[in-house]
Amino acid sequence: MIKLEKRPQPSRLWTVLAPLLAVLLTMVVGGALFWFLGANPFEAIRTIFWDPLFDPQFAPFSRPQLLVKAGPLILIAIGLSIGFRAGIWNIGAEGQYIMGAICGAGAGLALYPSDSVLVFPLMILCGALGGWAWAMIPAILKTRFGTNEILVSLMLVYVAENILASMSSGLLRNPEGMGFPGSRNFKQWEAAHNAELIPNTGMHWGVVFAFICVIGVYVMLTRHIQGFNIRLTGDAPKAARFAGVSPARVVFLCLGLAGALAGLAGLFEVSGPAGQITIDFNSGYGFTAIIVAFLGRLNPIGILLAGLLMALTYIGGELAQLMLGVPGASIQLFQGMLLFFLLGVDVFTNFRIRLTKPELA
């Protein structure tokens, strides 16, 4: 018989080992999946995890993409992780991402064609504000009425998508775009373009912000009383209240920060890699970031690594689609499986598996 026995202390070893084991298991099961889909499993795994970085033919194109994709994932996941640590489940980052993009881009487009150096900083500010404001809706409803933030933030994703549809074919539509939906392209407007900072690296302002956030949040969680309060709230809400932490303040802080970071990610995406507001410029980063946050153990450094890994599966997935003809959806499943395996193997972190003799009772 197999028995679970709670460890007196969470295992440090397994905290690190669990994500690695999860990745390994995902590769094995994912390989089987690709085999089932008619592709060579080893080739598929190599195409996803190795070729984008090291294949002489593809790497020059795909390597910069790594940071382009990892930037928003890390930025959003860092924000989400703070809330998850406190037991506040914001799963509507996708909506905050969209609203940040709309507000930031809208603020910029209102100034078109100014070439002031202030245009881009203003867009960044408005992007953060847009995401923040959208996250304030569940925050206010939760603190004021006790409404469940999971459902509200998620519903707001659908609302945001409808606003995006309306904006891209209405208010923000490119007046010179011959009636096609979609805003002006920021790539053609230097003052507002989130351009690549170092050629062929994929490094743009969003990636810089993501790195800064990793460091900032790391310091906050380990050294600052706010971070302590957030962790305390997540571990024991009653103890936090006893310590004098205001639950409402933690909700506002966590949701606000997550919203602002998601909004920033949206703005950097729309003014850089995506280039314009279109009805489907968002590509589900807000949801994938949830996986990134967990895979990174809600730890800033872990999230940095997990974000890069997840970006790799995006790029590698596209490559596999192109080269091996595996369906694009399989990579989404792949990412989902990764989260599942992680949650499963996490049992080793808190429990010891003990084999006992069958009892003769």
Partner 1 sequence: MTDTLLTIEGLTKAYPGVVANDDVSFTIAEGEVHALLGENGAGKSTLVKMIYGLVKPDSGRMTLRGTAFAPNEPRAARAAGVAMVFQHFSLFNALNVAENVALGMENPPAMRDLAARIREVSETYGLPLDPYRTVGELSAGERQRVEIIRCLLQDPRLLIMDEPTSVLTPQEVDILFETLRKLTGEGVAILYISHKLEEIRALCDQATILRHGRNVGTCVPSQTTAREMAEMMVGSAFQPPERAARALGDVALEITSLSAKSPSEFGTSLKDISLTVRAGEILGLGGVAGNGQDELLAALSGELRSAAGTIQLKGKPVGRLGPGARRRLGLLTAPEERLGHAAAPEMSLTENAILTAAQREGLVRNGFLNWNKARGFAEAIIERFDVRTPGPATVARALSGGNLQKFVIGREVMQRPEVLVVNQPTWGVDASAAAAIRQALLDLAANGAAVLVISQDLDELMEISDRFGALNEGRLSDIRPTRRLSVEEIGLMMGGAHGMEVAHV
Partner 2 sequence: MDLSSINPILLVASIMVSATPILLAAIGEMVVEKAGVLNLGVEGMMITGAVVAFAVAVNTGSPILGFAFGAFGAAALSLTFGVLTQILLSNQVATGLGLTLVGLGLSSLIGKPYEGVKAPSLPRLDIPVLSDLPVLGRMIFSHDIMVYLSLLLVVAVWAFLKYTRGGLILRAVGESHDSAHALGYKVVRVRLLAILFGGACAGMGGAYLSLVRVPQWTEGVTAGAGWIALAIVVFASWRAGRVAVGAYLFGGITVLQLNLQAAGAAVPVALLSASPYVITILVLVFISARGMHGAPASLGRPFHASS
Q: Interface residues with partner 2 (CB under 8 A)?
A: 4, 6, 84, 89, 91, 137, 141, 145-148, 150-152, 154-156, 158-159, 162-163, 165-166, 287, 290-291, 294, 327, 329-337, 339-340, 343-344, 346-347, 350-351
340 binds, options partner 2, partner 1, none, Cβ within 5 to 8 A by partner type = partner 2
Q: Give residue 331's Cα distance to chain centre.
A: 16
Q: Which of 11, 114, 226, 283 touches partner 1 by CB under 8 A?
A: 226
Residue 17: CB atoms within 10 A of its CB come to 14
The whole-angstrom separation of Cα 45 and Cα 34 is 9
Crossing angle between the packed helical segments 59-85 and 285-295, to the nearest 10 degrees:
70
Q: Which is nearer to partner 1, 177 or 224 (CB)?
A: 224
CA–CA distance, 205 with 55 (Å, rounded to integer): 27
C-beta closer to partner 1: residue 20 or 224 = 224
224 binds partner 1 (CB under 8 A): yes
CB 261 within 8 A of CB 71: no
* Cis bond upstream, residue 113 (ω within 30): yes
Single out the segment in contact with partner 1 by CB under 8 A; choices: 47-55, 112-120, 217-225, 337-345: 217-225
First and final CA of the chain: distance in angstroms? 14
Strands 351-355 and 2-6: antiparallel
| Binding mask of the shown chain, residues 4 to 33, with x at each position contacting partner 1 by CB under 8 A | -x--xxx-----------------------
Residue placing its CB nearer to partner 2 in the complex, 86 or 192:
86
Residue 180 interacts with partner 1 (CB under 8 A): yes or no: no
The contact mask relative to partner 1 for 246-285 (x = CB under 8 A, - = no) is x---------------------------------------
Task: Point out which span in 47-55, 132-140, 227-235, 339-347 binds partner 1 (CB under 8 A).
Answer: 227-235
For residues 124 and 264, the answer to whether their CB atoms sit within 8 Å is: yes
Helix/strand/coil for 4: strand
Contacted by 335, from partner 1, partner 2, none: CB < 5 to 8 Å by type? partner 2
Stretch in the footprint of partner 1 (CB under 8 A) among 114-122, 191-199, 201-209, 235-243: 235-243
Token pair for residue 311?
Answer: 């970006």
Least separation, in Å, of the C-beta of 294 and partner 1?
Answer: 17
Tokens at 190, concatenated: 């230097």
Give φ, ψ of 171 to 5 degrees. -55, -45
Helix H segments across 55-91? Answer: 59-85
User: Using CB under 8 A as the criterion, which residues of the chain lie in contact with partner 1 when the complex forms?
Assistant: 5, 8-10, 223-226, 228, 231-232, 235-236, 238-244, 246, 359, 361
